[in-house]
Amino acid sequence: MSLLVLAFGSALRLADGASDEKVISVYSPVANYSLSLVERDGMDYVSLLEILEPLGEVSSRVDGQNWRLRFKGTDGVFRNGSARVHVHGRNIDLPAPFLLDNARGLVPVDSLVGVLPAWLGVPVVFHSAARRLFIREGGTTYSAQLGSGTSLKLVLNFTSPVNPKIATEPGKLRMTFTRDPVIASGPPTVSFNTTSISSASFVESNGAAEITITGAVPLLASFGNDGRTITIAPAPSAAPARQTATLIPPANSPPQAAPPTAATGSTAAAPQLAPSQPVFAVIDPSHGGTETGATLSNTLLEKDVTLAFARQLRQEFVSKGFSQLLVRDQDITLTTDQRAMAANAARPALYISIHASLDGKGARLYTPLLFATAEDNGLFVAWDHAQTSFLESSQLAAVSIAAELGKGLPTRIIPAALRPLGNIVAPAVALEIAPRNGAIADLTATDYQQQVAASVVAGIAAVRDRLGAGR
């Protein structure tokens, strides 16, 4: 056995920074978030107001060439073009001049370690090269234990939940922690005495940290213990090495089984969610990983809203006695074929895909729309025609859900060629959630999510006997 111990920061980040722009990530006991930087005269600047907004009550105003900022009752005065500011009765020197840009107060990112403690009254640590700012920096540790023999695997046990993006390529598995302030306390690279899993390395850059596991074979990651455990193991020999991400259910999920064979025309590798007991509903939060979906705000992505609502919907199904599975319960990338194959392997009575949007109000339900572009081949149904036998049941489910949602929200039913609906061999609908009254906060409001989830489950319960008990 080899034993590796590293230290990790413990927190959640509200948004992911795009890889093609400079980002600063802030981690604190109150909130964790990312902001885009702007470049002025060859230096990186950030809006000080946007840095402080998630941390407490803050306001600002322009007074001639002065910019006045108040945070939790403490005032600061910044003068356009000056490298000296006055905060809470004392002067603070900046590494570059303060800039007033259309009423936005911009400060050099390297000045935050001097400016923020004057307001926050707590230590601030800034990893300048990686642009990661820690307020009251703390650490969560984990151990990585490498087993040998026929069940070779690397088990990472965290003392707090983590939620990395995971991507694979030949010989490597990358875990990118954009939502967790990962801090390595040991050497950046640790080697193991095995070729299948040979090393684990740590780097941080552009507001994120990354752990790369290197080996001579394709590797898979699985999650367990509510995100506190990540297990890395060689992929089964039949697994294609070219897939970009692989989902394995958490350790407390039912065991996996190989997907049924079919002449579908799909060559994508699918996550497998074959349960040991019948599953009534498969819930599929759209997007995930590098496929973020719509950017709803500077701190909110569609993939995060869909996952949060899917978890709420799962809880509602469970409370009403329905068995269910999530296609993804982590922030990973999946193709539409992978989603369809995972759902079909579970043989559910219902498949429901979750989307989110700022367009319109209330909810939209999409039913499968098929085109006569493929031909069946004997006993096998063409992949794009898989939904053919279930169109009537899909419409029934949508109408019943819409009837419940319509009691409190504007709701429409729209036929659409929206993948993977047409590839599902079960009644299938897609639900797109928009705010009640145009306010983006609705999408993350627990009461709104509960209202929509309760209506969805009530609509399904009303027609459950007509949908079947699963296949």
**305-320 pLDDT per residue, tens:** 999 999 999 999 998 9
Homologous superfamily of 38-130: Copper amine oxidase-like, N-terminal domain (3.30.457.10)
pLDDT, averaged across the chain = 80
Q: Using one digit for the tens of pLDDT, what is the confidence trace for 36-88?
A: 999 998 999 999 999 999 998 999 999 999 999 999 889 999 999 999 999 88
Domain 2-9+143-234, second-level architecture: Sandwich (2.60)
* Residue-level pLDDT at 67: 95
pLDDT of residue 7: 36
Residue that has been written with the tokens 């920096």 in this structure:
137
H/E element, 182 = none
Task: Report the distance separating Cα 249 and Cα 259, nearest Å.
Answer: 14
Question: 4 pLDDT band (50/70/90 cuts)?
Answer: very low
pLDDT at 108 over 90: yes
**Could you tell me what percentage of the chain is helix, strand and coil, using 3-state DSSP and rounding each to the nearest 5?**
20, 35, 45
> Do the domains 38-130 and 281-467 sit in the same CATH topology, yes or no?
no
Question: Model confidence over 357-385: pLDDT tens digits?
Answer: 988 889 999 999 876 554 555 556 677 78
pLDDT value for 62: 93
> How many helices (H) and strands (E) would you count in the chain?
7, 31
> What are the structural domain ranges in the chain?
2-9+143-234, 38-130, 281-467
Q: Report whether 222 contacts 249 (CB < 8 A).
A: yes
CATH of 281-467, one of 3.40.630.40, 1.10.3720.10, 3.10.20.30, 3.50.50.60: 3.40.630.40
Cβ atoms within 10 Å of 405's Cβ, excluding its own: 25
pLDDT in tens, 403-457: 999 999 999 998 888 889 999 999 999 999 999 887 888 898 888 999 999 999 9
Q: How much is the pLDDT for 196?
A: 85
pLDDT digits (tens, 9 = 90+) for 346-363: 889 999 999 999 888 899
The string of pLDDT tens digits covering residues 202-239 is 899 999 989 999 988 888 887 777 778 888 888 764 23
Percent of the chain with pLDDT over 70: 81
The model's pTM is 0.50
| Alpha carbon distance 283, 389 (integer Å) | 20
Residue with the larger pLDDT of the pair 120 and 185: 120
pLDDT of residue 1: 37
Asked whether residue 245 carries a pLDDT value surpassing 70, the answer given is no
